Every structure is written in C-alpha cells, then in structure tokens.
Amino acid sequence: MSSSGAHIKDDSIDTTHGCILYIEDVTVSFDGFKALDDLNLYIDDGELRCIIGPNGAGKTTLMDVITGKTRPDHGTVFFGQNHDLTKMTEYEISHAGIGRKFQKPTVFLNHTVFENLELTLHTQKDVWQSLTQPLTGEQRDIIEENLEIIKLKDQKNLRAGLLSHGQKQFLEIGMLLVQNPRLLLIDEPVAGMTHQETEHTAELLKSLSGKHSVVVVEHEMDFIRSIANKVTVLHEGRVLAEGKMEVVQNDPKVIEVYLGS
Amino acid sequence: MIKNINNLHSFKEWLFIFFLLAIATFLLPLLNIFAPEESVLHVPDYIFPLLGKYLCYALVALAIDLIWGYTGILSLGHGVFFSMGGYAMGMYLMRSIGKEGVYKSDLPDFMVFLDWKELPWYWLGFDYFAFTLLVILILPGLFAFTFGYFSFKSRIKGVYFAIITQAMTYALMLLFFRNNTGFGGNNGLTDFKQILGFSLQEPSTKMSLYIITTIVLFLSYVLSRYVVQSKLGRILTAIRDTESRVMFSGYNTIHYKLFIWTLSAFLCGIAGALYVPQVGIINPSEMQPSNSIEMAVWVAVGGRGTLSGALVGAGLVNWAKSWFTVAAPDYWLYFLGALFIIVTLYFPKGLVGIFARFNSEEKVRESA
C-alpha cells in the first residue's frame, strides 16, 4: 500500500520516544462550558486505543482538536515530536498522516464506491495532478484490494448514496485505509451495523494496529471488550481512568459515572 | 491527450456534436450565400449577429455551470467578468474608429465631449489588438482570482458568497456609470466602425464573428467537459456535496475552488469580448445585479451540473426573452421570476433533467 505516491514523505514523523500523539494541557471551551479541561493523553505508536465516556465527555471535541477543526484555547497537540497540529490546517494534518472517520458516516453520496476510494487515495493532491493524471494500474489495484477488505467489491460502481448504513460505515473505513495514514481516528464505527458487520470491523481494526495507530471512540461495550488493549475513560473533559479494560471496568469512579448506569 | 478527449463522449454523442457544429459553421453560412433570397431555405443576414449573441450567452452559462452546477458556488456577479472582456474589446474598437468619429478627433467622442485633452493612461495599448487580446484573456481571470482568494480563504460560502458577488457587480456598475471613470459613463462604448480593418457593417464580418464565436464555444465546451470528467471534476462535485470530507482527505479545497472560479471568469470574459462587436455596444447596464441573476437562471432552467443543460437553458430563456420583449414587454420579468421559482421547486435538475428522467422511464418500461 505504501508504494503509491512515492513523492510524499510520510516517514517524517518522529516517534523515537515511542509516542505518536501527545496531547498536553488542552482546554477547549464553548461559551464558558469546558468541553476539554486540561486534558492530557498520549497514544503509543502502533497501539489500538479505545476512548469511552458518557455523552458530553468531550470525545468528539478531542477528535476535532486533533484534526484541526477546532483550535484549543491553550495546550499543545503534537503528532510525533515534530508536527504541531494546533498550527496546521485540516488538509495539512491529513497529509501528515492522520485520517478521520466521522461519527455520522461521511462519504461522497453522489460518487460511486470506486470513486470514493479514488478521491481519498494516498497520492499527490494538488490541482494540476488531479486534472492531468489518470489512475495508474497500480493505484487501481490498491483500490480493488481495499474493496475486497471492506467487502464492497460487488457494489463498486454503485452510487454511495444507495448503500446501507453499515456499508457506508465500511466505505468510510475503506476511504481511510487507501489514505494510508499513520494514525486513524475512528468515531463510532459500529453504529448501525449488524452483528456480523460489527465482528468484521473488530477483526479489521485489530489487523490494522501495529502498522498503524488506531484511536476508536465507541459506546458499544461488547465491541470495545472484543478489541481493546487499553481503554481511556473521559469524563467532563478530563481523563477519569486509563488502563486495561478489566481494570477500568472495576474502577469505582468509572462505575459511578458510566458503566454502572 | 487526443485519446483522453475522445473518451469524453461516446461515438454517438461526438457525432451529434459535430453534426450541430457543421450546421452552425457550414450549413447556415452556405444557405445565406447560395440560397436565393426568395427561397424558404434562405438564411437572412440579421440571423448571424443574433445567433452570435445567443452563443455568447451560452458560453456565459457554461462558465456559471462550472462554478455553480459542479462546485456548488453560486455566483451572482458574472456580469462583471463578462463586462471586463466586453469593455476591453470595446476600448479596442473605440480606438479603431480613429478620426472617423463625430468630432473627427483622435480621441473617442465621449472624451472630446468631456473636454479631455489626452488619452488616460489606462487606455494606452488598446490601439493594438494583441494587447487587447492579452487583457481579455488575463484581466477577468486575474480579478476573479484576487476576489476569490480573499473570499475562499475567509471561508465565505453559500448565500454569503452570492451576496458579496452581487455587491461586487453593483459597486462596479456604479463606478462605470461615472463619466470621469473614463469608460463613457452610462452610454458606454458604441458607434464602432471596424475590427482589424474589417467593417463591422459588412455582413461578411458579422458572419465571421459568428463563426468564430461558434468555434470558441465548441472549444470551451470540450475544455469544460475535460475538466469535469477528470479527477479534478470529481473533487469539485465532492466539494459541493461534503467539503469537510474533502479537506480531511488531504486536499486544499481553496486551490480547487480558486482554479474553477478563475477558469469560469476567464471563459466569461471571452464571451463578453465576442459579444461586444456583434451587438455593437457595451455599457454599465451589463453589470446590473439583475443581469447576473438572469445568467444564473439560464443555468437553473437548463439543468445544473450537466454543461449541456447550461447551453440549452441560455438558448431557450433568451429566445423566450426576445419573444416576450416584443409581445408583452411588461411581463418579461414576472415570467422570468415565475420560471425560476417553478424550476427550482419542481425541476431541480432543469430541462435536461426532465428529459433524462423521461428517457430512463422509457428504458425501465422497455426492460419490464
């Protein structure tokens, strides 16, 4: 997969200290309400991390801060040790190697499944290239390969708007995969999926970790149990607990705000 | 490259396009020259500037479809780019009059009337066609690029963008209405005599201008089709549908919007430059806010995001306008307004959309 777009330096992320994402003292407030409150969070290179927390805990705001959609009031967000995400635009962050799947599946509804993957494919993304460079055979193969992975091969010429909710979720994950990011942020991937689709997603995410770092925000506890190594519990914009699922699950503070209810 | 262009349409579609092109550039002129005047087949002289005018409008519609239909950015200020091309051509035509004007002066008549003694600096160079051509090809695009750069960078979108383009055209209209701006005030530029040494009164000149317009429209159509059919075109429609997703996929959408916005203005400027010698006048009323709105209506009526719809819409609406302004001049604006509302509410895909739906229903019936 990494063979496409050889001109792009995607190895420029300095992870010599083992961490790929450093979030330190980040505060975001909306009209006085602190969505994130001096939050500290570190993601290791290659790990699969789940973030849980009740509604309003700041999960989506955290994603927004990492992808450049929302700027923190103060605090630092570093991708590797050398990319200050608070000073980069959305597309620069994407180029640096962070891909995001939104809570509500966000795909290009008027484009075919194949075109959706073509548009997100990891390659040169300037105007002139887009105008003059048709897909190479190699890039076509990458897309076909990923169509297989997300099980949408038979639907590749179908308009994405005609897919089921679960299929759209898979398509969006596929769009992330062809982008070949170092860090994947995945917001509620199994909402609206059937049991089988959920299992498939769990397999997929587990297979990604190691090569990529994956951060999953999810509500579905069974799903988290099936994939998670390490879980971070957010509450009122802060980290309430962090650690192995079994440990976190039995933490009295966590039971009080979240799991017990 | 040739192969790429060939792939833009099916063989049947290309055949149809070349058929239309052949009628426009060969058959009509031949019928004008060789068919006897009393014959029903005779094409009278006055048809050519009239058709030429419609073709210029069609080019404008094509330009608006690129930015509105494909990219979802509604511009209600394309009259400005049209006028820029038009005024540049008009200035050249004014200079070509030489001393044949009413006052027999080297200066354009309106300057003599204002008692100006010498040509303002910004009129220098328009004695030369090559210079004029450069201005026509560069100025509207450059102006659009600058305007777009600040707007898109500030993330101005949707109805807000439409409103500032209206304000832009209104402001420039007021500027051009002033006599001391130096473009002939509210009378604009007119009384042209010749272009490149050919008399503008000659039917052969008019026919040539018409043929050139047809060819320019054809080339612009092929260029636009190439753009929208490329990956860039798919990115533009993706920006229209979900811009944030495009940004998170690593595209700098500002560059894409600037590209298509500038291309659109470029085509519109060329349309204006071809329009002026065929119509014989350019004045600030071309920059009336309502004019630019009318341009958007052409595209809405024909069908957005199809290119062919824009061409059909420009032709039909202007044909209706010609008919109305003779038969019931007071009701034209009511008709135009009603047309816009009906099309937007009931036929969001325009006339081409109706036709396509009819076609696909037929296919369903056939297969059933």
Domain extent at residue B62: 51-288
Q: What b/e sequence results for B315-348 when a residue is b if at least 16 CB atoms lie within 10 Å of its CB, and e otherwise?
A: bbbbeeeeebeeeeeeebeeebeebbeebeeebe
| Residue A170: closest CA among A117, A218, A214 | A117
| Residues B36 and B98 reside in one and the same domain | no
Q: What is the mean pLDDT of chain B?
A: 93
Which residues does residue B260 pair with via DSSP β-bridges, in sequence order? Answer: none
| Residues B202 and B154 reside in one and the same domain | yes
B231 → chain A, closest CA residue: A130
| Residues B38 and B138 reside in one and the same domain | no
| Residues B233 and B263 reside in one and the same domain | yes
Q: Determine which of A168-172, A249-253, B268-272, B294-298 has the lowest per-residue pLDDT on average.
A: A249-253
Closest partner residue to B245 among A108, A118, A133, by Cβ?
A108
Report whether pLDDT(A54) > 90.
Answer: no
Q: Residue B274: how many CB atoms within 10 A of its CB?
A: 25
First to last CA, chain A: 43
d(CA B20, CA A252): 79
In the 8-state DSSP scheme, what is residue B338? Answer: H
d(CA A57, CA A38): 13
Q: Give the DSSP H/E element, type plus range, for residue B49.
A: helix B47-64
What is the Cα Rg of chain A in Å? 18
Banded model confidence at residue A3, pLDDT cuts 50, 70, 90: very low
**Beta-carbon pairs below 8 A across chains A and B:** 78
Whether B31 contacts chain A with CB within 8 A: no
Whether B145 contacts chain A with CB within 8 A: no
In a domain, A230, yes or no: yes
- The verdict on a CB contact (< 8 Å) between B249 and A106 is no
d(CA B105, CA B224): 44
| Residues B33 and B135 reside in one and the same domain | no
In a domain, B347, yes or no: no
The low-confidence residues of chain B, meaning pLDDT below 70, are 1, 361-368
Q: What is the mean pLDDT of chain A?
A: 88
Look at residue B365 in the predicted model and tell me its pLDDT: 58
* Structure-token pair, residue A70: 């929302």
In a domain, A144, yes or no: yes
Whether A108 contacts chain B with CB within 8 A: yes
| Residues B211 and B245 reside in one and the same domain | yes
Domain extent at residue A56: 46-64+97-259
- The verdict on a CB contact (< 8 Å) between B250 and A126 is no
- The verdict on a CB contact (< 8 Å) between A106 and B253 is no
Contact B88, B132 (CB under 8 A): yes
Interface pTM, i.e. ipTM? 0.88
- The verdict on a CB contact (< 8 Å) between A118 and B247 is no
| Residue A201: closest CA among A169, A232, A163, A228 | A169
Report percent pLDDT > 70 for chain A. Answer: 94
In a domain, A174, yes or no: yes
- The verdict on a CB contact (< 8 Å) between B252 and A91 is yes
Look at residue A4 in the predicted model and tell me its pLDDT: 40
Which residues does residue A41 pair with via DSSP β-bridges, in sequence order? Answer: A23
In the 8-state DSSP scheme, what is residue A134? Answer: P
Best of A104, A112, A127 to disrupt the B interface (most B CBs within 10 Å) is A127
| Residues B11 and B96 reside in one and the same domain | no
Best of B8, B149, B231 to disrupt the A interface (most A CBs within 10 Å) is B231
Phi/psi region, residue B358 (left: phi>0; alpha: psi -120 to 50; beta: rest), is alpha
Report whether pLDDT(A9) > 50.
Answer: no
| Residues B209 and B74 reside in one and the same domain | yes
Pick the last residue of a domain from B266, B288, B310: B288
Pick the last residue of a domain from B263, B288, B313: B288
| Residue B23: closest CA among B55, B61, B60, B57 | B55
Q: Which residues of B touch A69 (CB under 8 A)?
A: 244
Q: Which residues of B touch A99 (CB under 8 A)?
A: 248
Closest partner residue to A108 among B242, B251, B259, by Cβ?
B242
A100 → chain B, closest CA residue: B248
Best of B1, B6, B248 to disrupt the A interface (most A CBs within 10 Å) is B248
- Total domains, chain A: 1
- The verdict on a CB contact (< 8 Å) between A130 and B238 is no
In a domain, B298, yes or no: no
d(CA A201, CA A183): 17
In the 8-state DSSP scheme, what is residue B75? Answer: -
Pick the last residue of a domain from B238, B264, B288: B288
- Total domains, chain B: 2
Report whether pLDDT(A5) > 80.
Answer: no
| Residues B231 and B269 reside in one and the same domain | yes
CATH assignment at residue A172: 3.40.50.300
* Structure-token pair, residue B76: 């209600």
- The verdict on a CB contact (< 8 Å) between B251 and A125 is yes
Look at residue A8 in the predicted model and tell me its pLDDT: 43
B368 or A185: which leads in pLDDT: A185
| Residue B126: closest CA among B116, B139, B115, B117 | B139
d(CA A225, CA A218): 11
In a domain, A7, yes or no: no
Residue type, B159: V
Report whether pLDDT(A246) > 90.
Answer: no
